[in-house]
Protein backbone atom coordinates (compact mmCIF):
# COMPACT_ATOMS: atom_id res chain seq x y z
CA UNK A 1 0.00 0.00 0.00
CA UNK A 2 1.32 3.38 -0.99
CA UNK A 3 0.03 6.90 -0.51
CA UNK A 4 0.40 9.99 -2.63
CA UNK A 5 2.89 12.61 -1.46
CA UNK A 6 3.74 16.08 -2.76
CA UNK A 7 5.63 16.36 -5.99
CA UNK A 8 4.23 13.18 -7.53
CA UNK A 9 6.01 11.11 -4.91
CA UNK A 10 4.83 7.89 -3.31
CA UNK A 11 5.12 6.96 0.36
CA UNK A 12 5.12 3.43 1.73
CA UNK A 13 2.15 2.78 4.01
CA UNK A 14 2.41 -1.00 4.40
CA UNK A 15 3.42 -4.08 2.47
CA UNK A 16 2.78 -7.75 3.00
CA UNK A 17 2.84 -11.05 1.17
CA UNK A 18 0.31 -13.79 1.85
CA UNK A 19 1.77 -17.28 1.81
CA UNK A 20 -0.14 -20.50 2.30
CA UNK A 21 0.92 -24.04 3.03
CA UNK A 22 1.37 -25.84 -0.30
CA UNK A 23 0.25 -29.07 1.41
CA UNK A 24 -3.27 -27.66 1.89
CA UNK A 25 -5.97 -28.28 -0.70
CA UNK A 26 -6.63 -25.44 -3.14
CA UNK A 27 -9.96 -24.54 -1.53
CA UNK A 28 -8.37 -24.16 1.90
CA UNK A 29 -5.44 -22.18 0.48
CA UNK A 30 -7.90 -19.79 -1.21
CA UNK A 31 -9.88 -19.52 2.03
CA UNK A 32 -6.70 -18.52 3.92
CA UNK A 33 -5.87 -15.94 1.25
CA UNK A 34 -9.42 -14.51 1.36
CA UNK A 35 -9.29 -14.27 5.16
CA UNK A 36 -5.94 -12.46 5.10
CA UNK A 37 -7.13 -10.11 2.34
CA UNK A 38 -10.27 -9.28 4.32
CA UNK A 39 -8.14 -8.46 7.37
CA UNK A 40 -5.82 -6.31 5.22
CA UNK A 41 -8.75 -4.40 3.66
CA UNK A 42 -10.33 -3.84 7.07
CA UNK A 43 -7.07 -2.62 8.61
CA UNK A 44 -5.90 -0.36 5.78
CA UNK A 45 -9.17 0.74 4.06
CA UNK A 46 -7.78 1.45 0.57
CA UNK A 47 -9.27 3.99 -1.85
CA UNK A 48 -8.55 1.71 -4.81
CA UNK A 49 -7.09 -1.76 -5.30
CA UNK A 50 -4.64 -2.35 -8.15
CA UNK A 51 -4.36 -5.89 -9.46
CA UNK A 52 -1.96 -7.28 -12.02
CA UNK A 53 -3.77 -8.23 -15.19
CA UNK A 54 -3.13 -11.97 -15.52
CA UNK A 55 -2.19 -13.29 -18.93
CA UNK A 56 -1.40 -16.79 -20.17
CA UNK A 57 2.22 -17.78 -19.93
CA UNK A 58 3.95 -21.08 -20.41
CA UNK A 59 3.27 -22.23 -16.84
CA UNK A 60 -0.53 -22.60 -16.76
CA UNK A 61 -0.50 -23.79 -13.13
CA UNK A 62 1.15 -20.58 -11.96
CA UNK A 63 -1.23 -18.47 -14.04
CA UNK A 64 -4.27 -20.26 -12.57
CA UNK A 65 -3.12 -19.74 -9.00
CA UNK A 66 -2.33 -16.09 -9.67
CA UNK A 67 -5.71 -15.57 -11.34
CA UNK A 68 -7.53 -17.19 -8.43
CA UNK A 69 -5.75 -14.99 -5.87
CA UNK A 70 -6.35 -11.89 -8.03
CA UNK A 71 -10.04 -12.78 -8.18
CA UNK A 72 -10.18 -12.94 -4.39
CA UNK A 73 -8.61 -9.48 -4.15
CA UNK A 74 -11.15 -8.10 -6.64
CA UNK A 75 -14.09 -9.66 -4.78
CA UNK A 76 -12.78 -8.39 -1.44
CA UNK A 77 -12.56 -4.88 -2.88
CA UNK A 78 -15.98 -5.11 -4.54
CA UNK A 79 -17.60 -6.21 -1.25
CA UNK A 80 -16.37 -2.93 0.26
CA UNK A 81 -17.24 -0.76 -2.74
CA UNK A 82 -13.57 -0.15 -3.48
CA UNK A 83 -12.79 0.29 -7.19
CA UNK A 84 -10.36 -2.16 -8.79
CA UNK A 85 -7.74 -1.22 -11.38
CA UNK A 86 -5.97 -3.71 -13.63
CA UNK A 87 -2.46 -3.09 -14.97
CA UNK A 88 -0.34 -5.34 -17.17
CA UNK A 89 3.12 -6.40 -16.00
CA UNK A 90 4.76 -4.38 -18.79
CA UNK A 91 2.71 -1.28 -17.84
CA UNK A 92 3.89 -1.65 -14.23
CA UNK A 93 7.53 -2.09 -15.26
CA UNK A 94 7.34 0.90 -17.59
CA UNK A 95 5.79 3.07 -14.87
CA UNK A 96 8.51 2.42 -12.31
CA UNK A 97 11.58 1.88 -14.50
CA UNK A 98 10.80 3.53 -17.83
CA UNK A 99 11.00 0.20 -19.64
CA UNK A 100 8.26 -2.40 -20.03
CA UNK A 101 10.97 -5.05 -20.38
CA UNK A 102 12.78 -4.31 -17.12
CA UNK A 103 13.98 -7.26 -15.05
CA UNK A 104 12.86 -8.08 -11.52
CA UNK A 105 16.03 -6.68 -9.95
CA UNK A 106 15.64 -3.35 -11.74
CA UNK A 107 12.01 -3.10 -10.63
CA UNK A 108 13.02 -3.90 -7.04
CA UNK A 109 15.76 -1.25 -7.05
CA UNK A 110 13.45 1.39 -8.51
CA UNK A 111 10.69 0.61 -6.00
CA UNK A 112 13.22 1.09 -3.20
CA UNK A 113 14.43 4.34 -4.77
CA UNK A 114 10.92 5.73 -5.38
CA UNK A 115 9.84 4.94 -1.82
CA UNK A 116 13.12 6.09 -0.25
CA UNK A 117 13.91 2.67 1.20
CA UNK A 118 17.43 1.63 2.13
CA UNK A 119 17.00 -1.69 0.34
CA UNK A 120 14.44 -3.38 -1.91
CA UNK A 121 11.44 -4.89 -0.14
CA UNK A 122 11.66 -8.62 0.52
CA UNK A 123 10.46 -10.99 -0.77
CA UNK A 124 10.40 -10.05 -4.46
CA UNK A 125 6.59 -10.37 -4.45
CA UNK A 126 6.43 -7.44 -2.02
CA UNK A 127 8.38 -5.25 -4.44
CA UNK A 128 6.10 -6.38 -7.28
CA UNK A 129 3.00 -5.42 -5.26
CA UNK A 130 4.47 -2.01 -4.43
CA UNK A 131 5.41 -1.46 -8.08
CA UNK A 132 1.80 -2.18 -9.01
CA UNK A 133 0.55 0.31 -6.41
CA UNK A 134 3.01 2.97 -7.61
CA UNK A 135 1.97 2.36 -11.20
CA UNK A 136 -1.66 2.96 -10.34
CA UNK A 137 -0.86 5.95 -8.16
CA UNK A 138 0.88 7.58 -11.08
CA UNK A 139 -1.80 6.50 -13.59
CA UNK A 140 -5.02 6.87 -11.61
CA UNK A 141 -7.47 7.15 -14.48
CA UNK A 142 -8.53 4.80 -17.21
CA UNK A 143 -7.78 1.48 -15.54
CA UNK A 144 -10.72 1.10 -13.17
CA UNK A 145 -12.83 -2.01 -13.68
CA UNK A 146 -16.27 -0.97 -14.85
CA UNK A 147 -14.99 2.43 -15.98
CA UNK A 148 -17.45 5.20 -15.27
CA UNK A 149 -20.06 2.74 -14.03
CA UNK A 150 -18.07 2.26 -10.82
CA UNK A 151 -18.85 4.72 -8.09
CA UNK A 152 -15.72 6.60 -7.08
CA UNK A 153 -14.86 7.31 -3.46
CA UNK A 154 -14.88 10.97 -2.35
CA UNK A 155 -11.06 11.01 -2.43
CA UNK A 156 -11.03 9.61 -5.96
CA UNK A 157 -13.63 12.15 -7.12
CA UNK A 158 -11.53 14.98 -5.66
CA UNK A 159 -8.39 13.59 -7.30
CA UNK A 160 -10.12 13.20 -10.66
CA UNK A 161 -11.64 16.70 -10.43
CA UNK A 162 -8.23 18.21 -9.68
CA UNK A 163 -6.63 16.27 -12.52
CA UNK A 164 -9.30 17.35 -14.98
CA UNK A 165 -9.12 20.96 -13.81
CA UNK A 166 -5.35 20.94 -14.27
CA UNK A 167 -5.84 19.67 -17.80
CA UNK A 168 -8.58 22.25 -18.48
CA UNK A 169 -11.37 19.66 -18.74
CA UNK A 170 -14.70 19.24 -17.02
CA UNK A 171 -14.63 17.01 -13.96
CA UNK A 172 -16.23 13.57 -13.98
CA UNK A 173 -19.42 12.97 -12.00
The SS3 assignment for 153 reads coil
Nearest to 74 by CA among 160, 158, 146: 146
47 catalytically annotated: no
151 catalytically annotated: no
First-to-last C-alpha distance (Å) of the chain? 26
Residue of 38, 47, 125, 163 with catalytic role: 125
Q: Any known ligand binding at 43?
A: no
What's 33's DSSP letter? H
Q: In angstroms, what CA-CA distances link 79 with 67, 74, 169?
A: 18, 9, 32
Residue of 52, 119, 148, 163 with catalytic role: 52
Q: Any known ligand binding at 128?
A: no
Report d(CA 111, CA 88) in Å as an integer.
Answer: 17
Report d(CA 18, CA 160) in Å as an integer.
Answer: 32
Catalytic residues: 52, 125
**Residues flagged as binding site:** 52, 125
**Residues flagged as binding site for Mg(2+):** 52, 125
Amino acid sequence: MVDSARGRRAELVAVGVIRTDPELSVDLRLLRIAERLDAWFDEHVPDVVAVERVFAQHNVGTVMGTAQAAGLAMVGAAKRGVPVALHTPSEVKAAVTGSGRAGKEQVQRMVASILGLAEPPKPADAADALALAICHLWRPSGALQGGERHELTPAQRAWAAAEHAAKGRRSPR
